[in-house]
A and B are shown apart, each in its own frame.
Chain A
Amino acid sequence: MSQPSENKNPARNKAMTLIALALFVSFLWWAQSHLDGYKIRIINLIAINAILGLSLNLIYGMAGMFSLGHAGFMAIGAYVSALLILTPEQKVAMWILDPIAPWLPGIHAPFIVSLIAAGLFAALFGCLIAMPVLRLGGDYLGIATLGFSEIIRILITNLTPITNGPLGLKGIPSHTSLWMSYGCLLVVLICMTRLMRSNFGNVLRAVRDDEIAAKTMGVNTFSTRVLAFTMGCFGAGVGGALMGNLITTIDPKMFMITQTYSLLMIVVVGGLGSITGSVVGSVLVTTMLEWLRFVENPVTVGSIQIPGVPGMRMVIFSVLLIVIIIFRRDGIMGMNEFSWDRFFSFCGRALKERGAS
């Protein structure tokens, strides 16, 4: 159980948080000017994956709803945002297969507005979907949300006048900077922490742990779940929009079920129901996926050249997922959260043990 631990030393903890934050901000500032584009992109991706992981964790880890539809909501967010920030000229030039819908080129909005719109659209769809399917339990919910995510993808592929069909959208202005993605992550983190400490967080945990007991206590479990699902979808939409802006091209194939699987991996590695866990999971999984690219490239050891194996990356990835779920089901953090008290008592114990031995 994650409960807000009694704050032993509030002044110290506040100071530590501020110091950590300042260190991190200076790291970002340094990274911005010193690292190459590829590395900055990965650091960006970590923040975006953390936002997406957190939103999935809200639905799955904290509210206990097994949803496999995240890729679909990301797709909605990415397309809404991209269609809003592309300039009319770009849009008119891009549609080749079918003529563009006449009202579409006229719509234009700044990046921040497009982000919020992306979240709202995804939340709207999420809410509409949640109403019918949340009556289902457990794995039926998983397969139904997966179905919806596929339907969304098929719609995007076929509604060519609005989405440019299978060709996707290109040349999206790249607004996702380190400040933007980490700013969004910070907002999401603050919202999530406050949410889970509020009464709503308690209700959510109660619904997850024992739905029947929660119902007996007078909780409207259905509306609680719909609300949590909708909020999770908002996060997915924002994350999808940031992702689209980072990569600058989007097409329907980007949002296949594989995308949901990697988010699931982040949440499971970090620990279901732990906010810290999702962030840690995102750092680990994102860097690991990039680092694993080396097995796909030829490696030269001394004079022997080992040929790279295309596709090996995902094989290792899936094996890791199975191994983690079989041998360490709770992930890294379990359901615990990071706190300075925990951190210092851990350090204290480690020091003592070293002194004793």
Chain B
Amino acid sequence: MELNMFMQHFINALGLGSLYGLIAIGYTMVYGILRLINFAHGDIFMLGAYFVFFATIQYKLPWALGLIIAVAGATLCGLLVDRIAYRPLRDAPRISALISAIGVSFFIENISIVIFSGMPRPVVQPPALMRAFSLGGVRLVPLGIMVPVISFVLVGALLWMVYRTKPGLAMRSISHDIETTRLMGVSVDRIIALTFAIGSALAAVAGVMWALRYPRVEPLMGIMPGFKAFIAAVFGGIGSIPGAMLGGISLGFVEIMSVAFFPDLSGFRDAFAFILLIAILLIKPTGLMGEKLEDKI
């Protein structure tokens, strides 16, 4: 494979990987705090894509405004999901919350089919983002550069928030010991809501960029990226934000490069992520950067 061809794939993989990473952060933060796989997260990502679609394509608003609407709308949905479906089950066995999560995910998918119709809809990409240019023989579009850059900036901001601010401290504290944190006078439910809000906002940003990259939206578009992002979170070490990003990018590279080098395997593309998951769970269940979770007796 020629070098500039390889670079093309490299940029592609970085873009896809950082999108997986952005979604994975939502999974990893919620799991780190509540030990709950938020199955609805992939669907929040889908809602983000739909909100921007309606704002910009249907109502002809500028993309920047569309992005804000998408983030606000998805954040609201994320908060509602937590309030309605997860908070009543905080003290229930964890498996009940998991079933509730499955129910919510199923609900969002089906209500979207009812409201938005099941037909995929094309997204018109803004021409400014798609104007191709050449950099050292590699053909690029601004969007291809924008996606990883925006993702890394957001992750940087998030890390600052988690490690340098009071709510961030509270989040880390809850993930260690929820009861003690409550006794310290932290409003646990509010911090958990904040976690859901942040995760949903990042998923919405990923949804907007996904809709721009693969220019269409459909109600079930969140399922596969959602699963894969969760796998990325496990791969990177669940509970760790840099781990989620690292896991996402690794997964992006595995998918793009395996198909680039072995085009015959393109039909199996979706299987790679799951094989990677099972491999990492067997070799190093805590993931690349995760801490060991002890079983409590």
Residues of A within 8 A of B (CB): 66, 132-133, 135-140, 142-144, 146-148, 150-151, 154-155, 157-158, 212, 257-258, 261, 264, 268, 309-312, 314-315, 317-319, 321-322, 325-326, 329
Contacts and interface: CB of A to CB of B under 8 A. Distances in A.
Contact of A66 (B85, B95, B104, B223): B95
Interface string B14-40: 000000000000000000000111000
B176 interface: no
Interface string B106-124: 1100110110001000000
Contact of B267 (A138, A157, A257, A322): A157
Given A147-B278, A311-B113, A314-B110, A326 B88 contact: yes
A27 to B, nearest CB: 33
Contact of B285 (A140, A143, A155): A140
Contacts of B118: 311
A139 B234 CA distance: 11
A311 B271 contact: no
A326 B107 contact: no
B107 A322 contact: yes
B270 A329 contact: no
A268 B114 CA distance: 26
Contacts of B98: 66, 139, 142
Contacts of B297: 212
Given A143-B37, A151-B275, A154-B270, A321 B99 contact: yes
A312 B110 CA distance: 7
B5 interface: no
A143 B277 contact: yes
29 contacts: A66-B95, A136-B285, A138-B95, A139-B37, A139-B98, A142-B37, A142-B98, A143-B231, A146-B227, A147-B274, A147-B277, A147-B278, A261-B102, A268-B99, A311-B113, A311-B118, A314-B106, A314-B113, A315-B107, A318-B110, A321-B99, A321-B102, A321-B106, A322-B100, A325-B96, A325-B100, A325-B103, A329-B92, A329-B96
B48 to A, nearest CB: 20
Q: Counting chain B CB atoms within 10 Å of each CB, which of A136, A154, A312, A317 scores highest?
A: A154
